[in-house]
């Protein structure tokens, strides 16, 4: 749009201005928050139903730039995005620093709430209202779908029966003799309790979990362990790939990269804690991560 200002009856100048309309994710400038390389500006969404989940969870909006399945906590997603900016997107240092601020902003909010995503997105200049989305935890879902049982006391099938008020059922059967046999009545008494019939409602379909077969083979072949810290195990889980103690991934490469990223973060934390002495430094941890990713072919 162009504005024309008139002074003393003479048109003197034009001033151009721009404005942002619609969702900020598509129009926000990288100025001030950095250059994100080959990836889009990070944004996280919060809701129920992601990846077949019944509970609410977090996931990156742009799966092309940040290919990660949903997670219960925003910390998993935020860490993956910030690692991707370094390893995949080749974002500049300003963008990486902005992502670190977004991580801290999200971590300062109540866990597993929509406001976590709002705080993360706001650092990138994106306004969202996931705070209004009611959080649903897997615990509440499990409680509401738990198995219920009822016991029904068996009813005798004989012609005559008397049911006692205790667990013992007295069963009396009368038979009428035929002409070819004796004329006496036979009475059979059983003091055994009637067997209860258990009626158990079918258990609800279990929610996806991170439980793995302990016998699964480790796909992570990188053996570097600077500071004694090895990369987490990666195994096959159904049609996906699991970083033990972390999320499921659609591709083996993403799972291996995530394993390397976790190792790097733990290594860097330990290096900082020890004062970055000798060869055990954050820089060395970053170098090791590159070797780990290369070993996985990602």
Please tell me whether residues 185 and 113 are part of one structural domain: no
Alpha-carbon distance of 169 to 159, in angstroms, equals 14
Nearest Cα neighbor of 41 from 87, 93, 82 is 82
CA angle 267, 109, 121 (to 5 degrees): 85
In the β-sheet with 186-190, what is the strand arrangement from edge to edge? 161-163, 169-175, 186-190
Is the residue at 4 inside a domain? no
Instruction: Give residues with Cβ within 8 angstroms of 232, minimum separation 6.
Output: 220, 243, 244, 245, 246, 259, 262, 263
Identify whether residues 38 and 136 lie together within a single domain: yes
The reply to whether 179 and 260 lie within a common domain is no
Asked if residue 267 belongs to a domain, the reply is yes
Q: Is residue 103 assigned to a domain?
A: yes
Is 105 found in the same domain as 76?
A: yes
pLDDT (tens place) for every residue of the chain, 298 residues total: 334 433 344 333 333 333 333 333 333 345 699 999 999 999 999 999 999 888 999 999 999 999 999 999 999 999 999 999 999 999 999 999 999 999 999 999 999 999 999 999 999 999 999 999 999 876 555 444 444 444 444 454 444 444 444 444 444 444 444 444 444 444 444 444 555 544 444 444 443 433 344 446 999 999 999 999 999 999 998 899 989 888 788 888 888 988 988 898 889 888 888 888 899 998 899 899 889 988 887 5
Give which of 226, 194, 244 is closest to 290, Cα–Cα.
Answer: 226
Round to whole Å and give the CA distance between 194 and 144.
32
Question: Could you count the other beta carbons within 10 Å of the beta carbon of residue 236?
Answer: 15
Q: Rounded to an integer, what distance in angstroms lies between the CA atom of residue 253 and that of residue 240? A: 11
Q: Answer whether residue 5 is part of any domain.
A: no
- Check whether residue 57 and residue 130 sit in a common domain: yes
Q: Same domain for 95 and 60?
A: yes
Domain-located, residue 147 = no
């Amino acid at each position: 749009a162009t504005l024309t200002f008139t002074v003393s009856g003479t048109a003197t100048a034009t001033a151009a201005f721009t404005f942002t309309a619609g969702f900020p994710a598509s129009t926000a400038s990288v100025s001030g928050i950095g250059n994100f390389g080959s990836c889009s500006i990070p944004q996280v969404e919060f809701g129920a139903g992601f990846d077949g989940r019944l509970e609410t969870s977090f996931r990156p909006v742009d799966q092309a730039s940040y290919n990660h399945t949903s997670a219960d906590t925003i910390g998993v997603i935020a860490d993956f995005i910030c690692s991707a900016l370094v390893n995949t997107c080749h974002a500049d240092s300003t963008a990486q620093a902005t992502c670190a601020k977004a991580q801290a902003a999200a971590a300062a909010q109540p866990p597993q709430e929509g406001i976590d995503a709002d705080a993360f997105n706001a650092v990138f200049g994106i306004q969202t209202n996931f705070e209004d989305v009611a959080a649903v935890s897997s615990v509440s879902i499990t409680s509401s779908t738990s198995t219920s049982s009822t016991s029904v006391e068996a009813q005798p099938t004989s012609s005559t029966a008397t049911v006692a008020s205790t667990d013992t059922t007295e069963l009396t059967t009368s038979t009428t003799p035929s002409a070819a046999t004796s004329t006496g009545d036979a009475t059979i008494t059983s003091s055994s309790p009637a067997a209860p019939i258990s009626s158990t409602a079918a258990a609800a379909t279990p929610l996806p979990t991170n439980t793995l077969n302990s016998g699964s083979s480790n796909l992570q072949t990188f053996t570097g362990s600077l500071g004694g810290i090895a990369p987490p195990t990666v195994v096959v889980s159904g049609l996906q790939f699991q970083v033990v103690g972390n999320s499921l991934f659609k591709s083996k490469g993403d799972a291996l990269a995530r394993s390397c990223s976790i190792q790097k973060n733990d290594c860097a934390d330990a290096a900082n804690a020890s004062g970055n002495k000798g060869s055990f430094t954050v820089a060395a941890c970053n170098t090791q991560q590159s070797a780990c990713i290369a070993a996985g072919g990602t």
